[in-house]
Structure 1
Amino acid sequence: MPSSTVPEYAFAAPFTHPPTSPIRRLAPYANRPGTISMAGGYPAQELFDVAGLNAAAANVGTRLVDCLQYSNIEGQASLRHALARLSAQRGISCDPDTELAVTGGSQQALALLSRVMLQPGDVAFVESPGFPNSAQTMRHTGATVLTVPSGPEGVDVEALARMAAIHKPKLVSVVATFSNPCGATLTREKRLRLLEVAVEHRFLLVEDDPYGELRFSGAAVPPIIALATGEARQWTAYISSMSKTMAPGLRIGWMIAPAEVRRRCTGAKAADDMACSAWIQEIVAQYLADGHYDQHVPRIRAAYGARCAALGDALRTHMGDEITFLQPQGGMFCWARLTGAIDSTRLLPHAIEHEIVYVPGNAFYSDPAQADAQAMRLSFATMNEAQITEGIVRLRRALRACEANEPVSIALAA
């Protein structure tokens, strides 16, 4: 009979006390029937181009036997060249055979870059507030991860420059367009300044761009790597994903990096999973070649734009001056702040009881001392306009209940 005593495993330092995701802890409440969830960072399932993907899959199926072998570690040639063409549409020129590699989503791309650049004793920077998995990925290398202040206008580039002069990071990760959670976009001038700082302090500047295609208003700003010339290009990497535009279940992302960095990343990937599925890669390549992607992205942009507008209208109508926010121009998230004495963590159990779920802002801060207790992230991607409006009506009711100290049955872990 197995012993009930847990052995004292000698875990590696980054895994001795693994954190529990505060976002995933909300899933049981967000998935309750009747609940309106603005918590998840998921794309809208009803907007997936199932017909286009089925057509691409059927085409690939006629040559299926060729797709059941191991893929090249750096990715199928067909997909690498297709992604290079897609990147060129974003203003990024690259060699698909030496600078571009296919990865298991952009998260694996960041993990590979972190692994080949960082080790114990090194320093990396991330934005705060920011996507928790980015910081966690870097910590798994044993490196020290420091946070740079960020917000609705993006990362504070001058604060980053001052910190870089002191701490000498080897890698800095930013989401320059429609950041998670703030929905911020860095100006062209700030992007150019970031490149100057990267060259001056010799760190690899990694731009994570999962949301850049989802602009539904305002003028587009080129990716940082598209602005990099001369030496700056050697200190810049770009990662992106099909998760928010096609479907996350494909697990297809890509990186563009200097050839020597990319070469080492493919070596790290060989130790990870050998390669992404050749079958799925060929379906994505076929989908791009058939023009389905170019037809699909405008549809989801329009849908998210309408949902974002509905959220802004609902917040102004039903919350008034009890909440502040900047209207996003793209992406999937709105960063809002309560203006009264109630903070977003205290409000959350009341919100859950009123069948509306969001993510409190403190979930996006690595350092609790820096957390904005009033902030919350509202995702507008997965709900239609009527549901979004009803969700904000429920949020206001929850706020009234919280102010009245009404009892709640929800007990959330700290």
Structure 2
Amino acid sequence: MERHPSIVWTPCVAHCIDLMLEDIGKIPWVQRCVERARNVCKFVYNHSWVLALMRQYTEQKELHRPGITRFATNFLTLQSMLRSKPPLRCMIVGEEWSSSSYATTPAGIEMADCIFDEQGFWVPCDEIVKFVKPLVVLLQVADGDKPAMGYIYEGMDRAKEAIKFVYGADESKYGPIWEIIDRRWHHQLNRPIHAAAYYLNPAFRFIPSFKADAEVLNGLYAIMEKMGPAGTSQIDLFRELQMFSDAQGETFSRPIAKHARTTMMPDHWWNFFGPETPNVQKLAIRILSQPCSASGCERNWSMFEHIHSKRRNRLSVEKMNDLIFVHYNLRLRMRKNATVDMSPIILDEVDLEAEWANENQTAPGTPTAVFSDDDIDWIDQVDIEAEAVAMAEEEQRT
């Protein structure tokens, strides 16, 4: 930035949001709930007979759902367990479980106690899922395939308001969560480029709740000074910016341009409807077409480390090179086959139930070949011989 004045640096949004979630995960009662859920998952997934029984009751739905980050995994798994609460209870009171040897083991008893602990486990589990969901939605937006620079500023405000709504505007409850978010936001993530992207995003600029306060305007002006097209005076930029803000001119005032504000990605919108303001158009496209997360780059850079993980640390050099070759080419094929999607990001309609890109995914219909490090926390290494003996004893008993 010192060498190139027009360059703007901003931290990875996905990483910063994940740090917020990790800080939330350190709250004692949240940590206890996650730890109990982790113990249940470890017991279920480390015993084939228990896992098969669980899948029978949940209709093949999984408890453990790996996410793109550690706490996203925690949240998605808590959400999945909450949805499977009735089947899990039916399983524990069922004859198959009651008559099995697993029901009398310390881990089995601990799992049963957890599943029937309404106030100690399910109530805090439900609370965590409700107040963490807005941040996980924003994490998914930041880590998605579409450039999300124009959505972070508004998304963070909406996430905070959603958390406030969950607690019925009780400041004693939502206050500590806001404190964690604000500490990361103000000291690390909040940068002028996010404010400028918020102002230039037509999906937000023309809604009644739009706020052009001092922070937003100062961020916009700072970015205009640093990233404005070379040879363009600030007066010309402000004149064109005024046309955009007032929706003046033949293009901005057209019904199709007004309709497309919320039906197109903001950089595409500027490409189609911004020719009357060429300088602001160039600036807006330059800002709004940028990704705001480094996760995609990190996944490519760490492919060797990803393949050579804790669970696959005895691979020969040739085998590891072959896996990397296949893994990388599957990603290239997915990218080639993907269709261009010009639809915008709609913060209120992000679907966490849809498949979220994670480091275990390769291509549709392709079995997972590697494990992420986050899975190690939720699923222990299984002693194959001991598990085989336990399964044989259980078959003889039943």
TM-score (normalizing by structure 1):
0.29
TM-score (normalizing by structure 2):
0.29
Name the one with the larger helix percent.
2
